[in-house]
Amino acid sequence: MMLNSSDGIILVDKNEGETSYDVVRKAKRAFKTKKIGHAGTLDPFATGLLIILLGQGTKLSGYLMSGVKSYHATMTLGIGTDTLDRTGRIIGTTAVPDVDPEEIRCAVKGFTGDIEQTPPAYSAINIKGRRAYDLARQGIAVDLQKRMVNIRSIDVISVDLPDITFKVTCSSGTYVRTLAADIGERLGSAGHLKSLRRLSIGGFDVSSALDSRMLDAGIEDFDLAGRMISLKDALPDMKECSINHETARKVINGIRPVRDELAAGGGSMDDYAGFIKLTDGSSLVAVIEVDHMSPDDKSWLKKIRVFT
């Protein structure tokens, strides 16, 4: 099975002032491809890891975006903004609380675990076909429902009031801007996000990323092709099941695999639950979602996404 060499992902370190789409445009020119996207938007003032999806890599968006993310963030107490970050309009000021670093660390630690968050009004959430930030800019009030997110860890790195710098590892869907405002409220103050840098998404780290400015050099002038991560390697944390060439051809031609064909790859059927990547040698054939508790083959395979 052969896939196009431009199918895969590339890790980019986005610079401040760029939109995520700015980086996508540069990658589109560099790789001379139209089929391109990204996993996980970063606001223009934010920097850090942005995963660019090329060719059939665009099919991986949902799997990559669901990964755990980590950020380095600095928030400022005493000032609230409408966007919950430093780019917004100031909507309130309060005195900076007289709290020592240990009190701050204790308050911040209280956000660990499953917490409720209300997404910012200035967010990309879709509301009846329109983005929340478009409605907010028009002064249209929107009712954004609270959602559960998970904060795996949050650690204060430094305190230099009014600024607090912390590192947070969190589930997909977490808004660090909201987290900063909520921390400020818990400390008896207003608060907004001053800076944000995304450090990792799933198993990928910004230390391995290409500076976004290098995309301007073009693929001929810089080893961009050497930075490409294959479709198979783009899902390092997903369980893998190796299938033979015959089964791979059947899957590519639209025939759903059965449990025995997966078991032939050497795994116990009890091992196969949730999302699994089916591979044939170095190629990604499909991503499937299975329920090993299902009593029959039809309901056992819930979803399949084929890569051809």
Give 8-67+204-227's CATH code, choosing from 3.20.20.70, 3.30.1490.20, 3.30.2350.10, 3.40.50.1820: 3.30.2350.10
- Specify the pairing of strand 8-14 against strand 47-54: antiparallel
E strand or H helix that includes residue 146: none
CA 176 to each of CA 20, 83, 84, 281: distance values in angstroms, whole numbers, following the listed order: 17, 12, 9, 40
CB atoms closer than 10 angstroms to residue 300: 19
Q: pLDDT at position 135, please?
A: 63
CA 137 to each of CA 121, 123, 219: distance values in angstroms, whole numbers, following the listed order: 9, 11, 38
Asked whether this chain's domains 8-67+204-227 and 239-306 adopt the same fold, the reply is no
Backbone torsion region of residue 17, taken as left when φ is above 0, otherwise alpha when ψ lies between -120 and 50, otherwise beta: left
* Angle between the N-to-C axes of helices 101-109 and 176-186, in degrees from 0 to 180, rounded to the nearest 10: 120
Q: pLDDT at position 4, please?
A: 45
Rounded distance, CA 287 to CA 306, Å? 7
Contact call for residues 101 and 159 (beta carbons, < 8 A): yes
Q: pLDDT at position 133, please?
A: 64
The ranges assigned to domains in the chain are 8-67+204-227, 69-201, 239-306
Rounded distance, CA 226 to CA 109, Å? 41
Q: pLDDT at position 96, please?
A: 96
Q: pLDDT at position 108, please?
A: 97
Q: Tokens 């983005």: give the residue.
A: 131
The active-site residue, picked from 43, 85, 182, 280, is: 43
Give me the architecture of the 69-201 domain, per CATH.
2-Layer Sandwich (3.30)
Q: Which residues does 122 contact at the CB level (< 8 Å), separation at least 6?
A: 82, 83, 84, 88, 132, 133, 136, 137
CA torsion, ordered 82, 83, 84, 88, to nearest 10 deg: -80
Closest CA to 201 of 163, 240, 229, 226: 229
Tens-level pLDDT at each residue, the chain (308 residues) = 333 457 999 999 999 999 999 999 999 988 888 899 999 889 999 999 999 999 999 999 999 999 899 999 999 999 999 999 999 999 999 999 999 999 999 999 999 999 999 877 666 666 666 666 666 576 667 767 788 999 999 999 999 999 999 999 999 999 999 999 999 999 999 999 999 999 999 999 999 999 999 888 655 555 677 788 999 999 998 988 888 899 999 999 998 888 777 766 555 555 567 899 999 999 999 999 987 666 566 677 888 999 98
163 is catalytic: no
DSSP state of 8: E
Domain over 239-306 is classified CATH 2.30.130? yes
